[in-house]
Structure 1
Amino acid sequence: MLKSFKWVARGEGISLLVLLFIAMPLKYIWEDPSWVRVVGMIHGILFVAYVAWAIWVYFELSWTLRRLVFVILASVIPFGTFYVEKKYLN
């Protein structure tokens, strides 16, 4: 369960970084929104999966509500999911 959550966390973190640092500059500097459409969809799916997995782990491992909220909020901060992976998913 934690191993699969780690993979989802990594994927979500990478997709956020690609969206912010590659797709968004391509959209606004070179006026090419195609990357945002593709990466945005992938990121959205991974974000929903990350939140669902976090809730599942919350119930399975009896996490505190505070930890669950922190883990979910970390998903909207660049590099946040990588921190969660190192701190809570080992």
Structure 2
Amino acid sequence: MSLPDNQADPAFLRQLRLMAMVEASTLVALLFVAVPLKHLADWPLGVRAIGPIHGLAFLGYIWMLFQGAGAGLFRQRRAWPLVVSAFIPFAGFMTAHRLSHQIGAASPLESNGR
């Protein structure tokens, strides 16, 4: 999975990492908690509650990706694997982990606790 270029702004990468984690968390909650409860326990309230939250998280994550690509923080072709990861359960957590490493490379002073 390709990540943003090394010259990407560390503050933007931290925000993108947070959005990746939120989007991944809501996707996992929707697919592995709310949908099974709807079908197995006849309790559709979970999908009605988590569905729109996940939708907003997904749109926010995609918006940030295209904002970053549009601002030249990373190339558009590198954004597509990040978009695809939003559709795969748990892939957003891998993206967030890799962004953590990218943040450390972009700001070595902050990664040392200074």
Residue 9 in structure 1 maps to residue 20 in structure 2 = yes
Which has the larger share of helix? Answer: 1
Larger radius of gyration: 2
Residue 38 in structure 1 maps to residue 49 in structure 2 = yes
Q: What stretches of structure 1 of length at least 5 have no aligned partner?
A: none
Name the structure 1 match of 2:80.
69
Name the structure 2 match of 1:83.
94
Spell out structure 1 runs of 4+ moving beyond 6 A.
Answer: none
State the distance in 2 between where 1:76 and 1:67 align: 16
3-state secondary structure, aligned to 2:26: helix
Name the structure 2 match of 1:58.
69
With the length of structure 2 as denominator, give the TM-score of the two structures. Answer: 0.72
Query: CA RMSD for the aligned pairs?
Result: 1.4
State the distance in 1 between where 2:57 and 2:64 align: 10
3-state secondary structure, aligned to 2:87: coil
State the distance in 1 between where 2:83 and 2:33 align: 24
User: Percentage identity across aligned positions?
Assistant: 29
Equivalences, count: 90
With the length of structure 1 as denominator, give the TM-score of the two structures. Answer: 0.90
After TM superposition, give the deviation of residue 80 of structure 1 in Å: 1.4
Look up the equivalent residue of 1:21 and give its one-letter code: F
3-state secondary structure, aligned to 2:43: coil
